[in-house]
Amino acid sequence: MSKVLGLIRAEGYTKDQIEENIDFFIEQDIIAQNGEDDKELLSTCCGAGGLGNIHEFDGEHYGLCARCKDRCSFEYEDEDN
Protein backbone atom coordinates (compact mmCIF):
# COMPACT_ATOMS: atom_id res chain seq x y z
CA MET A 1 0.00 0.00 0.00
CA SER A 2 1.38 3.41 -0.95
CA LYS A 3 0.79 6.44 1.20
CA VAL A 4 1.38 9.92 -0.15
CA LEU A 5 2.22 12.70 2.27
CA GLY A 6 2.17 15.84 0.17
CA LEU A 7 4.68 14.96 -2.55
CA ILE A 8 6.61 12.53 -0.36
CA ARG A 9 5.97 8.84 -1.01
CA ALA A 10 6.20 6.51 1.95
CA GLU A 11 5.29 2.98 0.96
CA GLY A 12 4.63 0.37 3.60
CA TYR A 13 4.88 2.67 6.62
CA THR A 14 2.26 3.55 9.22
CA LYS A 15 1.22 7.13 9.90
CA ASP A 16 3.13 7.08 13.22
CA GLN A 17 6.30 5.82 11.52
CA ILE A 18 6.04 8.55 8.90
CA GLU A 19 5.50 11.27 11.51
CA GLU A 20 8.48 10.04 13.56
CA ASN A 21 10.76 9.90 10.52
CA ILE A 22 9.48 12.80 8.41
CA ASP A 23 12.96 14.33 8.07
CA PHE A 24 14.25 11.08 6.57
CA PHE A 25 11.41 10.94 4.02
CA ILE A 26 11.94 14.58 3.04
CA GLU A 27 15.67 14.02 2.59
CA GLN A 28 15.08 10.91 0.46
CA ASP A 29 12.57 12.81 -1.70
CA ILE A 30 15.09 15.62 -2.24
CA ILE A 31 17.77 13.12 -3.25
CA ALA A 32 15.38 11.44 -5.71
CA GLN A 33 14.44 14.76 -7.32
CA ASN A 34 17.96 16.20 -7.66
CA GLY A 35 18.36 14.96 -11.25
CA GLU A 36 15.12 16.62 -12.32
CA ASP A 37 15.62 19.96 -10.57
CA ASP A 38 17.99 21.33 -13.21
CA LYS A 39 15.55 20.69 -16.07
CA GLU A 40 12.51 22.79 -16.90
CA LEU A 41 9.10 21.27 -17.55
CA LEU A 42 7.90 22.15 -21.06
CA SER A 43 4.50 21.56 -22.64
CA THR A 44 4.20 18.72 -25.13
CA CYS A 45 1.94 20.80 -27.42
CA CYS A 46 4.32 23.62 -28.30
CA GLY A 47 7.31 23.52 -25.92
CA ALA A 48 6.28 26.51 -23.80
CA GLY A 49 6.44 26.65 -20.02
CA GLY A 50 3.54 26.21 -17.69
CA LEU A 51 0.97 28.78 -16.68
CA GLY A 52 0.48 28.47 -12.93
CA ASN A 53 0.96 25.15 -11.18
CA ILE A 54 1.99 21.99 -12.96
CA HIS A 55 0.65 18.89 -11.23
CA GLU A 56 2.30 15.46 -11.08
CA PHE A 57 0.38 12.19 -10.94
CA ASP A 58 2.01 8.76 -11.39
CA GLY A 59 5.10 10.30 -12.95
CA GLU A 60 3.14 12.33 -15.51
CA HIS A 61 2.94 16.14 -15.36
CA TYR A 62 -0.19 18.11 -16.32
CA GLY A 63 -1.17 21.76 -16.35
CA LEU A 64 -1.94 24.78 -18.52
CA CYS A 65 0.34 25.74 -21.38
CA ALA A 66 1.53 29.35 -21.08
CA ARG A 67 1.31 29.90 -24.85
CA CYS A 68 -1.82 27.93 -25.83
CA LYS A 69 -3.71 28.51 -22.54
CA ASP A 70 -5.00 24.94 -22.86
CA ARG A 71 -4.57 21.81 -20.71
CA CYS A 72 -1.71 19.55 -21.75
CA SER A 73 0.99 17.27 -20.45
CA PHE A 74 4.52 18.40 -19.66
CA GLU A 75 7.90 16.72 -19.99
CA TYR A 76 11.35 17.69 -18.79
CA GLU A 77 13.37 19.48 -21.43
CA ASP A 78 15.85 17.42 -23.43
CA GLU A 79 19.51 17.69 -22.50
CA ASP A 80 20.22 18.66 -26.13
CA ASN A 81 18.39 22.02 -25.73
Tell me: the pLDDT tens digits for 10-41?
Answer: 677 788 887 887 888 777 776 666 655 567 88
- 9: which strand partners? 4
Q: What confidence score (pLDDT) does residue 18 get?
A: 78
Q: What confidence score (pLDDT) does residue 32 get?
A: 64
pTM: 0.52
Q: What confidence score (pLDDT) does residue 74 get?
A: 93
Q: Could you tell me which residues come within 8 angstroms of residue 78 by beta carbon, excluding any fewer than 6 positions away?
A: none
Domain borders along the chain are 1-37, 39-81
Return the higher-pLDDT residue of 60 and 5: 60
